[in-house]
Structure 1
Amino acid sequence: MFRIGAHVSISDGFPAAVDHEVDLGGNCGQIFVGSPRGWAVSEVDETEAEAFQETTEERDVRPWIVHGTYLVNLATPKDDLAEKSVDCVQSELDATAALGVPYYVFHPGAHTGAGESTGIRNVGERLSEVDVPDDVTLLLENTAGKGTTVGKRLEDLDEMVEVSSHGYGDLGICLDTCHLFAAGYDFRDDAGMADLADDIEATVGYENVHYLHLNDSKHPLGSEKDEHQHVGEGEIGEDGFRLFVNHDGLRENPMVLETPVDEKGYEWNIETVKRLRTGD
């Protein structure tokens, strides 16, 4: 079954997030387990976790994914920030497991002047300090590449996994379309999509891509700017998304939207992706 959804709030509690997703027309979804711009992780009440799992099952909204706080930086040269980031990732992973959610995704971070190769190695080594729960897969998200952020190239994500003591299995990949495009991957026509497909196969491998973030880009190809636009209304356009969401190597993955929340909103974007999707 085609799984498409959006990021939804947990402000009304975890079980209510499932209903919010259904109201948008989604059948999978993404949540935070705390403030995206803070270090605190919400305590997961056992009763609420059970209610969340029951509602998920009843309404057939799955799989869920938890997005990590934006403050996490495993690439940093600063030991105190690295320690805080590792502790936060661990707490978020534990909350993910307590909710019965199978995926957790985060941004690798920035090397802030230490050098790209050092930042990439830092991510891998610090991932080794994390205990990934048995029923959770930790996903690395590709980045747009702005400033000193690492993870712009697919081979960089692959190196992070290789450096880590976990390897694929405990770890996997989440691909963001806006980030791919901003990083210079052009998949707006058949030739470009074929090139991206070859890059995925040669680096992280399709089998290790578990989730997709669908966001158009407000800025041109290779801009390294991470500003999301409604699907089909940015620089990627409908042709690019049609190729991406229908590609044989990607189409079975769950997909969530992180598009602007304005007069169009998530419901409009979900319907747009459903229209672009073929063969279901």
Structure 2
Amino acid sequence: MLIGCHVSTAGGLHEAVARGEDIGCDAIQIFNQSPRMWKPTAYGEEDFARFRDAMAASRIQEVVIHAVYLINCATDDPALREKSLTSLVQALTIGAGIGAAGVVLHPGSAKTGDVGEAIARCGDTLREALARTAGCDLLLEDTAGTGGTLGRSFGELSALLEAAGGDERLGLCLDSCHLLASGYDVRTAEALTAVLDDCDEQVGLDRLRCLHVNDSQTGLGSNRDRHAPLGEGEIGREGCVAFFSEPRFEGLPMIFEGPGVEGKGVVARDLEIAREMRTEGLATRAS
């Protein structure tokens, strides 16, 4: 289990590795460009090589990219779809260049339109992005279910994967806060086991390649994406312990996105807390 957090790339891609090392990450997550702007950062092979060298010299074993928030692969607006496709292709290209485990993507929104049609449009966009790239996985993230966002259930995630053609490069990133917000009870080890069994039946846990472990400010079924420090929210310590000690998550990047115990940013103490939770959970499972 590779515990880490989201880190900044300010100063260059390779600087993210140093920041991850400073706070004790086994894995890191980065944005490939400003998350709220369409303009891509002009990275090239020299940047990729410098990043790969930094990774090889560090304790960090995996990196994942989070695609920009503006992307809506399900849109019925042709201009927005083209922008979304271009941005996604850029993220996957950078992911391949730096050896990322995958690009995490919020699938998009149906807004007030037909969900089935939105899933079909999203599938077409994802197929095209995969066809234009190679060497990096695309990981659909479950959503909290606000408004018309897609991916709020395992059924929708399964439909999205099918609409995108079921390519082996398509994977899944589960977010603990989003699961709770969308109605999946993950507050105990037993509850998490049941949720994962459901995911395995509907999607297949062989698709699971990354996790976001975030506590939630809001309760079960709130449909609100509001993170809390680990163990201090509605998932609580018991639920977070269950995530960090779940056997089916072994070997996967476990990314904490914050806020941390000292405020907005994640600090070394947050990762220490995560590892303490893991130790506690493993001891409970062994008893």
- Retained in 1: the 8 A contact 2:33–2:40? yes
> CA 1:190–1:65 in 2, change beyond 3 Å: closer, same or farther?
closer
Output the aligned Cα RMSD. 1.6
- Retained in 1: the 8 A contact 2:213–2:243? no
SS of aligned partner of 1:104: strand
CA distance in 2, matches of 1:21, 1:148: 34
> CA 1:241–1:168 in 2, change beyond 3 Å: closer, same or farther?
farther
Amino acid in structure 2 at the alignment position of 1:13: G
CA distance in 1, matches of 2:190, 2:62: 31
Amino acid in structure 2 at the alignment position of 1:147: G
Amino acid in structure 2 at the alignment position of 1:136: C
The residue aligned with 1:135 is 135
- More moved, 139-148 vs 249-258: 249-258
Once the two structures are TM-superposed, the CA of residue 251 in structure 1 deviates from its matched residue by 3.1
Once the two structures are TM-superposed, the CA of residue 262 in structure 1 deviates from its matched residue by 6.7
CA distance in 1, matches of 2:271, 2:238: 16
CA distance in 2, matches of 1:196, 1:220: 16
SS of aligned partner of 2:275: helix
Task: Check if 1:271 corresponds to 2:272.
Answer: yes
SS of aligned partner of 1:31: strand
Contiguous gaps of at least 5 residues in structure 2? none
Amino acid in structure 2 at the alignment position of 1:111: A
Once the two structures are TM-superposed, the CA of residue 270 in structure 1 deviates from its matched residue by 1.1
The residue aligned with 1:48 is 47
Amino acid in structure 2 at the alignment position of 1:95: I
> CA 1:262–1:272 in 2, change beyond 3 Å: closer, same or farther?
closer
- Retained in 2: the 8 A contact 1:77–1:114? no
The residue aligned with 2:224 is 225
Amino acid in structure 1 at the alignment position of 2:74: A
- Retained in 2: the 8 A contact 1:102–1:135? no
Q: CA offsets per residue over residues 67-102 of structure 1, 9 Å max, x none? A: 100000011122221121111101111122222223
CA distance in 1, matches of 2:253, 2:99: 17
CA distance in 2, matches of 1:146, 1:251: 30
> CA 1:154–1:171 in 2, change beyond 3 Å: closer, same or farther?
same
Give the alignment's TM-score, normalised by structure 2: 0.92
- Retained in 1: the 8 A contact 2:230–2:260? no
Once the two structures are TM-superposed, the CA of residue 60 in structure 1 deviates from its matched residue by 2.8
The residue aligned with 1:68 is 67
4+ long deviations beyond 4 Å: none
Once the two structures are TM-superposed, the CA of residue 51 in structure 1 deviates from its matched residue by 1.3
- Retained in 2: the 8 A contact 1:44–1:98? no
The residue aligned with 1:108 is 107
Q: CA offsets per residue over residues 19-53 of structure 1, 9 Å max, x none? A: 10011111110111111001112121322221110
Amino acid in structure 2 at the alignment position of 1:35: S
- More moved, 101-110 vs 143-152: 101-110
The residue aligned with 2:91 is 92
Amino acid in structure 2 at the alignment position of 1:47: E
CA distance in 2, matches of 1:168, 1:223: 32
Contiguous gaps of at least 5 residues in structure 1? none
CA distance in 2, matches of 1:131, 1:125: 10
The residue aligned with 1:157 is 157
Task: Check if 1:79 corresponds to 2:69.
Answer: no
- Retained in 2: the 8 A contact 1:37–1:70? yes
Task: Check if 1:240 corresponds to 2:239.
Answer: yes
The residue aligned with 2:187 is 188
